[in-house]
Structure 1
């Protein structure tokens, strides 16, 4: 008998019918004799709805109060799933982060988990219950409600699995694993049976949405076996692991959309200090003694306008393609040329050990993905074995 932590979110719990289907899948696991903890996100679209309500009141809501509001979504979904399980004769109990005792720091809207008290969880499991835990949320040392940032329910699931020493943490999504690219963009994409933690972490950091970055980092740090599965069909999914024959061969492309290239009339040193105080991620593209050009998320523009006002100029909407892999730098020039041949301009690039990021116009991201997937991911001449390549 294994102890499994299963996470469902978004479209997986997007309606009452989907929640009923999740209940059936959880019951299948329980009937195999396993202990099960389920971690849920809010129903699909609910977090955005609540955020929209907040912005009707204040374009830049107070961070503490925003966290109080946004956590309401998960409380709805965990109660509904527990009801569905109990209706089917399987004893289940829903628990908020406060009831579990998930402690975080006080970084509202993007908190980090510090500790999880497993006593209450273990007590419920020992009574034969399925425990349904609210993802995305915690409490700080002053008992304020906090949230873990976008995709934070993945982190909750991994952290709970690590604290309980679970046999596996299973992340159920609307795709059945990590693919060579988003199959909604490139239908010819292939699923990877395995991917190395190092590559998955880099891809998540660069915008791949199949797993949230903090969850991958936590799983890697605490040696939590992690598997990505489909909510809607059976299969083996993708195992994220330290021991894989694919690790040195994998190349991935993560796409970050909804970004803005802006210019701020301020020296880079002073600007960097202010942006770090805000906790904003940015990419410095160019700078002079009087100004700097940076790339930020479009969602961060209202906060930046409050501070810099007429010192800030929005140049254009952009996207970032980040290619990840041990040998990715050897194909950078060829990729740039291939994109130029399709009239896609690469405005800027940056390189680190296993990642090359290319800055392009937002409107070009789909053609760029298709081009790189066709010419490089599936090209044995360029990268060797196509079955071992990944784009996410």
Structure 2
């Protein structure tokens, strides 16, 4: 039988009525002749509740017990989904991570997949079961303990199963009806995309788009798993939602296909850092050790260069998530105290946002940067930092101009037009 993977997020299974609605979508695919692996998240809000209980009980908790507790939300949903399908006359069985088994590393709360043996599920399908409902977000470590994959891990679970079982497609059901050219809450001109390439989706996800977890897109791109994002709350057909696929499946793409934005950014500048071989490693190694996720990096000639330290100093600017500012500050201060780096000032700007244009068409077209910068200049938006890749240009700007910048760029690149 052809096989589909269908994943339902927390809002899609938030209560019994929504679970029944999701089950009807699964039933429809079974009636069309598919065997189905359903991946479910915990009911909306349940994981946060479980995490809160853990933190109240034990602020310095044992990560193994944390995983045992927070993974239980998915187990409840899987059982309820299976029962609902059985009541509809669909042969279904629920599976927890250890029963499949979903083998992972032992990194509790941040585990990664090792492998997913097919034998147990294949046997049940051979016995006549049409649906395997699998608890997402969880797996089993080599020592048999339950592990979890990090927040949003059910998306990654779904893609991993689609790869392991050679699924025809992996459908991600969520509270939006697809991937848009930008956040529809920022501009009403945002347009739903019919198709988008893996690389574009990966950039958008990493730059602030909340539709899919970044790891899930990475995995889909690696194993060529065709993903489809669509709404749990609307009637759907084969043309619904947005298909995320290989670039070869897209006949012609716009130069820019999407605008991403993130307001949770901060800019840090080390002023008058010694300019010598190895200074970048001396700065960014402590940040990595502290778990700080550095994004944009710019090195400049210091304003003090010619006055105080001719030819020997530089300024180093980088961006970090705003919730990691204190961690970054501490890492830099400790590195200076240890004598591995020196600087005159540590300047922190927490009133910035990141806006990015993304498109695979940028590889073969010139003038994208010029058009982007002119559109921002026309609206008097000043650029603080610029970073580029083959299919992306990102800028840091004052946070108060983020919505204005997104709207200006969306108009400049004509993204409202199909």
Judge conservation of contact 2:104–2:141 (CA < 8 Å) in 1.
yes
| Contact 1:100/1:117, CA 8 A, preserved across alignment | yes
The 3 A distance-change label for structure 1 pair 238 and 99 is: same
Structure 2 counterpart of 1:88:
88
- Normalised by the length of structure 1, the TM-score is 0.86
Note closer, same or farther for the CA distance 1:313–1:118 as it changes in structure 2 (3 Å cut).
Answer: farther
Aligned to 1:277: 289
Helix, strand or coil at the partner of 2:282 = helix
The answer as to 2:349 corresponding to 1:315 is yes
Match of 1:364 among 401, 404, 408: 401
C-alpha contact 1:12 1:19 (8 A) present in aligned 2:
yes
SS in 2 for 1:199: helix
After TM superposition, list the pairs within 5 Å mapping 1:225-236 onto structure 2: 225-233=226-234, 234-235=236-237, 236=239
1:297 and 1:62 map into 2 onto residues whose CA distance is: 26
Structure 2 CA distance for aligned equivalents of residues 187 and 376 of structure 1: 15
Q: Structure 1 residues 363 and 48, CA, compared in 2 at 3 Å: closer, same or farther?
A: farther
Q: Deviation at 1:256?
A: 2.7
Stretch moving more, 291-300 or 154-163: 291-300
| Residue aligning to 1:295 | 319
- My pick for the range that moved more, 88-97 or 65-74, is 65-74
CA distance in 2, matches of 1:64, 1:302: 27
| CA shift in 2, pair 1:133/1:329, >3 Å | farther
Q: Is the 8 A contact 2:265 2:319 kept in 1?
A: yes
Q: Is the 8 A contact 1:22 1:231 kept in 2?
A: yes
Alignment check: 8 A CA contact 2:286 2:331 kept: no
User: Deviation at 1:169?
Assistant: 1.0
8 Å contact 1:97–1:133 — kept in the other structure?
yes
Distance, in Å, in 2 between the alignment partners of 1:368 and 1:59 is 41
**After alignment, is 235-244 or 302-311 more displaced?**
302-311
- Unmatched 5+ stretches in structure 2: 274-278, 303-312, 337-345
Whether the 8 Å CA contact 2:296–2:386 is kept in 1: the answer is no
Residue 196 of structure 1 and its aligned partner are, at CA, apart by 1.9
Cα RMSD between the aligned structures? Answer: 2.9
Evaluate the alpha carbon distance shift between residue 24 and residue 248 of structure 1 in structure 2; reply closer, same or farther with a 3 A threshold. same
Partner of 2:375: 338
1:192 counterpart SS class: coil
Is the 1:97–1:137 Cα contact (8 Å) retained in structure 2? Answer: yes
2:258 paired residue among 245, 252, 257: 252
Residue 53 of structure 1 and its aligned partner are, at CA, apart by 4.0
Q: Counterpart of 1:383? A: none
Map residues 201-216 of structure 1 onto 2, 5 A cutoff.
Answer: 201-216=202-217
Question: How many corresponding residue pairs?
Answer: 381
SS in 2 for 1:347: strand
Residue aligned with 1:373, SS = helix
Tell me the secondary structure at the aligned position of residue 283 of structure 1: coil
2:49 counterpart of 1:71: no
> Quick one: structure 1 residues 21 and 220, their matched pair in 2 at CA, closer, same or farther if it must change by over 3 Å?
same
1:196 and 1:25, CA in 2 relative to 1: closer, same or farther beyond 3 A?
A: same
Q: Which moved more, 1:206-215 or 1:92-101?
A: 206-215
2:382 match: secondary structure: coil
Q: Measure how far apart 1:225 and its partner are.
A: 2.1
Corresponding residue SS for 1:351: strand
Pair 7,241 (structure 1): closer, same or farther in 2 beyond 3 Å: same
- Write out per-residue CA displacement over residues 281-324 of structure 1, whole angstroms, 9 at most, x where no aligned residue: 21254567698543222343565577567887753143222211
Once the two structures are superposed, residues 316-346 of structure 1 have per-residue CA deviations (whole angstroms, 9 ceiling, x without a partner) of 1432222112327622233233234434332
Q: Distance in 2 between matches of 1:271 and 1:231?
A: 46
**Alignment partners' CA distance in 2, 1:196 and 1:60:** 42
Greater shift after overlay, 112-121 or 363-372? 363-372
**Would the aligned equivalents of 1:199 and 1:247 in 2 still touch at CA under 8 Å?**
no
Q: TM-score, normalised by structure 2?
A: 0.81
Would you say the 8 A contact 1:195–1:250 is kept in 2? no
| Alpha-carbon distance change, 106 to 248 in structure 1, aligned in 2, over 3 angstroms | farther
Find 1:324's aligned residue among 349, 358, 364. Answer: 358
Once the two structures are superposed, what CA deviation does each residue of 1:16-42 show, in whole Å capped at 9, x if it has no partner? 221121111111111222111100112
Answer whether contact 1:60 1:303 (CA < 8 A) is retained: no
Q: Secondary structure at the match of 1:191?
A: coil
Output the CA distance in 1 between the equivalents of 2:368 and 2:116: 44
Contact 1:199/1:250 (8 A) holds in 2:
no
Equivalent of residue 411 in structure 2, options 362, 371, 374:
374
Pair 1:146-2:150 in alignment: no
* Contact 1:195 1:246 survives alignment (8 Å): no
- Partner SS, residue 377 of structure 1: coil
Alignment correspondent of 1:382:
none
